[in-house]
A = this chain, B = another copy of it.
Amino acid sequence: MPIIKHIHFMDGILEKTIVATQFFNFPAGVSLALDSGKTLSNVTIAYETYGTLSAKKDNAILICHALSGDAHAAFYSSAEDKKPGWWDTMIGPGKPFDTEKYFIICSNVIGGCKGSTGPSSVNPETGRPYGPSFPFITIGDMVRAQAHLIDHLGIGRLFAVAGGSMGGMQAMEWARSYPKRVRLCLPVATALYQSTQNIALHEIGRKSIMSDPNYRGGNFYDGEHPKAGLSIARMVGHISYLSDDAMTKKFGRRLQNMERYAFDLTDEFEVESYLDYQGESFIKRFDANSYIYITRAIDYFDIGYEAASLDKAFPKSDARFLVISFSSDWLYPPYQSEEIVTACKANHRPVTYVNITTNAGHDAFLIRNQTQEAVVRDFLDNEYRSIAEDRSHHFISSQNDIPRFDHRLIFDEIPSHSRVLDLGCGDGFLMHMLAKEKGCLTQGVEIDHANFLSCVSKRVDVIKHDFNDIFNGYPDNSFDYVLFNLTIQMTINASEALDAAVRVGRTVIVSFPNFAYIGNTVAFLSQGRMPKSKWLPFEWYDSPNIRMVTLKDFAVMCEEKGYNVRARYFYDETDIVWLLPNIFAPYCMFVFEKGR
Contacts and interface: CB of A to CB of B under 8 A. Distances in A.
A211 B267 CA distance: 14
A389 to B, nearest CB: 43
A528 B551 contact: yes
A210 to B, nearest CB: 7
A495 B538 CA distance: 12
Contact of A539 (B200, B261, B495): B495
Interface string A501-529: 00000000000000110000000110111
A292 interface: yes
A469 interface: no
B207 A276 contact: yes
Contacts of A196: 244, 247-248, 250-253, 269, 271
A540 B549 contact: yes
A542 interface: yes
Interface string A171-206: 000000000000000000000011111011101101
Interface in A562-596: 582-583
A548 interface: yes
Contacts of A208: 208, 232
B247 A200 contact: yes
Interface string A238-262: 0100111001101111000000010
A395 interface: no
B204 A235 contact: yes
Q: How many copies does the complex hold?
A: 2
Contact of A300 (B261, B276, B543): B261
Interface residues of A, number: 87
Given A529-B556, A542-B495, A582-B528, A197 B548 contact: no
A155 B149 CA distance: 78
Interface string A553-566: 10011000000000
A244 B197 contact: yes
Nearest to A336: B244
A209 B252 CA distance: 24
Contact of A583 (B300, B528, B552): B528
Given A516-B524, A528-B582, A197 B541 contact: no
A36 B264 CA distance: 10
A265 B206 contact: yes
A213 B213 contact: yes
B204 A269 contact: no
Nearest to A581: B528
A108 to B, nearest CB: 21
Given A36-B263, A211-B228, A263-B136, A530 B550 contact: yes
A253 B548 contact: no
A135 interface: yes
Given A253-B196, A275-B200, A528 B546 contact: no
A235 B203 contact: yes
B547 A541 contact: yes
B549 A546 contact: no
Contacts of A525: 525
A427 interface: no
A272 interface: yes
Given A264-B136, A529-B553, A548-B548, A211 B232 contact: yes
A494 interface: yes
Nearest to A543: B547
A124 B131 CA distance: 51
A527 B546 CA distance: 21
B235 A232 contact: no
A540 B548 contact: yes
A353 B434 CA distance: 52
A199 B239 CA distance: 11
Given A211-B229, A516-B528, A528-B583, 15 more contacts: A196-B247, A196-B269, A197-B244, A199-B269, A201-B239, A203-B271, A204-B239, A208-B208, A208-B232, A211-B212, A268-B299, A269-B299, A530-B550, A540-B549, A540-B557
25 contacts: A36-B261, A36-B263, A132-B265, A136-B261, A193-B253, A199-B269, A199-B271, A199-B272, A203-B269, A204-B275, A207-B231, A207-B235, A207-B279, A232-B232, A236-B236, A244-B330, A244-B333, A253-B305, A261-B300, A498-B541, A524-B550, A528-B582, A540-B553, A540-B557, A546-B547
